[in-house]
Chain A
Amino acid sequence: MIRLEGVTRRYSSRAGDRVALDNVDLEIGRGEIFGVVGRSGAGKSTLIRTINRLETPDGGRVIVDGEDITALDAKGLLKARRRIGMIFQHFNLLNSKTIEANVAFPLMLEGRPKAEITARVAELLAQLGLAEHAKKYPRQLSGGQKQRVGIARALACGPQVLLCDEATSALDPETTEDILNLLDQLNRELGLTIVMITHQMEVVRRVCDRVAVLKDGKVVETGRTADVFLNPAHPVTQAMLAEDDDGFDAAMAPVGGQMARLTFRGASTYEPELSRIARETGVDYSILSGRISRIRGEPCGQLLVVFTGGDATVAMARLTENGVAVEAIQKEAR
């Protein structure tokens, strides 16, 4: 659906050139929710803006639904942008217009007939639970409601792609959950392809099918969310995930024995493998840290344990046989 080929963007200033995007290749499938994470300044904003060419790349191509966005003339670009919805961290609603006028705005820009606009706006407001706010102004709404208006506005022209620029970063956790559920629902019901940039790992964990990690304008890691989150390969990914947890470094725990990281995925997450195998092999274990959760709906768990007594090697082999990924950790001599 969306393909970035060698996309590069440089900013030049008197202080010298800065590369915001460095030869980025990405392929985003139709109907996918794709997350792009990275620290601030990694190039996330620039990346998402090349998809509707709010940022024009200095090199490379951006292809959306078979159309080369980077090759379009001014008129073609305006048309292409109508098929790409976008929502923003600070909603960017027009304060001078009512909610219904905000939702009608893109349709009016497109020059649709009045009757059609009225009908479409009423439909969108009802669909997003905003009907009662139609005549209000943005300042009268809460953040979550404003983002709903932003989503209604982005959907007005019936786009195939929705770009989310830190869309939940200004919202409280409960409202974030509400907006994520809504995006998830739109993705399923409309087959909408969603690209979201965020620094909130929790958001990616919750809704993204796949994720790319950006650092200094380069994609350093990409893959299915569960794969990347359970086995982060790049130090930046590892660090961002660690901050997302409590930040407690369990490997520092003052315990002796064989330390191992156990990763459960799918149905095995809920099986009592660990206690059964411990009993059978006669090892004891202490759990140093762990998390059982879902990543994009898939149950998964990751535990850091220390085996003491008995033969840890045998226990780890048995766990591996039973579908648990085991990574033995050598404690560094201190």
Chain B
Amino acid sequence: MFDNVNWLEVGKAGIDTLLMLAGSLTLTVAIGIPLGVLLFLSGKGKLAANPVVNAVLSFVVNVLRSLPFIILLIVMLPLTMLLVGTSLGVLGAIPPLVVGTAPFYARLVENALREVDHGVVEATQAMGGSTFQIVMRALLPEALPGIIAGATVSAIALVGYTAMAGVVGAGGLGDLAVRFGYQRFQTDVMFVTVVLLLVLVQILQMLGDWLVARVSHR
């Protein structure tokens, strides 16, 4: 049992996966929320309706979402070099992970904002709230459960993407599974990495659900 498993390597890969996940999720949220808010506000009949801005943003988001992640990884190589100085390791994996996930998350944020009852927006307007206040004080707090649920979905998608990022030398558990488990037929390594990824996904989902329940007052 587990003859081929180098536990030190597994530990290192696990930490790499966690680092990639933490870094890319933070940036995905930081970019996805403002982008989702812009998509929502510029939409038809919304607070800052602007068909041109909406069409452009929507197009960019759709293009990025329709690129298979494996292609994005390769296409992004020069940009990644430019941004973080390397295309390898944890650091090199983060730009493509963010570019691949942030547009997806922005759509989830947009959907969460759409779920907020328009009456709340109207009431805030009637109280003399500015558009900025409506977004910060009413829309985002009301949509928070959906925004967190979206972040959970995105985090789990990112776990899958980190495995693919192994292809361009990113390291991590997925990389271990591919190089040892798949290419060298070390089934035990494959088994260990898959179980670890499964546990990670399970923890992320439970954490997300717990947070959603905590902020949900509907």
Q: What residues of chain A lie closer than 8 Å to B128, measured between beta carbons?
A: 78-82, 106, 109-110, 157
Distance (Å) between the CB of A15 and the closest chain B CB? 16
B129 touching A52, Cβ below 8 Å = no
* Chain A minimum-CB-distance residue to B215: A96
Tell me the residues in window 60-109 of chain A with beta carbons closer than 8 Å to chain B beta carbons. 78-82, 84-86, 88, 90-97, 105-106, 108-109
Distance (Å) between the CB of B48 and the closest chain A CB? 12
In this assembly, does A285 line the interface, its C-beta being within 8 Å of a C-beta of chain B?
Answer: no
Tell me the residues in window 134-176 of chain A with beta carbons closer than 8 Å to chain B beta carbons. 137-139, 153, 157, 163
Q: What residues of chain A lie closer than 8 Å to B129, measured between beta carbons?
A: 78, 109
Distance of A138 Cα from B59 Cα, bound (Å) = 39
In this assembly, does A54 line the interface, its C-beta being within 8 Å of a C-beta of chain B?
Answer: yes
Distance (Å) between the CB of B64 and the closest chain A CB? 31
Which of B122, B130, B137 is A78 in contact with, Cβ under 8 Å?
B130
Q: How many chain B residues have a CB neighbour from A under 8 Å?
A: 21
Which of B125, B137, B215, B217 is A81 in contact with, Cβ under 8 Å?
B125
Q: What residues of chain B lie closer than 8 Å to A105, measured between beta carbons?
A: 124, 127, 137
A92 touching B117, Cβ below 8 Å = yes
* Chain A minimum-CB-distance residue to B137: A109
Tell me the residues in window 102-149 of chain B with beta carbons closer than 8 Å to chain A beta carbons. 117, 119-120, 122-130, 133, 137-138, 141-142, 144
User: Per-residue CB proximity of A262-280 to B under 8 Å, as 1/0?
Assistant: 0000000000000000000
Could you count the A-B residue pairs with CB atoms below 8 Å apart for me: how many are there?
68
Distance of A191 Cα from B44 Cα, bound (Å) = 41
A96 touching B127, Cβ below 8 Å = no
Q: What residues of chain B lie closer than 8 Å to A54, measured between beta carbons?
A: 122, 125-126
Distance (Å) between the CB of B8 and the closest chain A CB? 46
Distance of A93 Cα from B122 Cα, bound (Å) = 11
Distance of A54 Cα from B130 Cα, bound (Å) = 13
Interface range on chain A: under 10, 10 to 19, 20 to 34, or 35 or more? 20 to 34
Distance (Å) between the CB of B124 and the closest chain A CB? 7
Q: What residues of chain B lie closer than 8 Å to A96, measured between beta carbons?
A: 141-142, 144, 215, 217
Instruction: Tell whether A94 pairs with B130 under 8 Å between CB atoms, given A54-B122, A105-B137.
Output: no
Distance (Å) between the CB of A121 and the closest chain B CB? 14
Q: What residues of chain B lie closer than 8 Å to A94, measured between beta carbons?
A: 120, 138, 141-142
Instruction: Tell whether A88 pairs with B123 under 8 Å between CB atoms, given A108-B137, A137-B217.
Output: yes
Instruction: Tell whether A82 pairs with B119 under 8 Å between CB atoms, given A95-B142, A96-B141, A108-B137.
Output: no
B123 touching A92, Cβ below 8 Å = yes
Q: What residues of chain B lie closer than 8 Å to A97, measured between beta carbons?
A: 141, 217
Q: What residues of chain B lie closer than 8 Å to A163, measured between beta carbons?
A: 126
Interface positions of A (Cβ within 8 A of B): 52, 54, 78-82, 84-86, 88, 90-97, 105-106, 108-110, 137-139, 153, 157, 163
The 4 closest A-B pairs by CB, nearest first: A92-B119, A92-B123, A81-B128, A106-B127
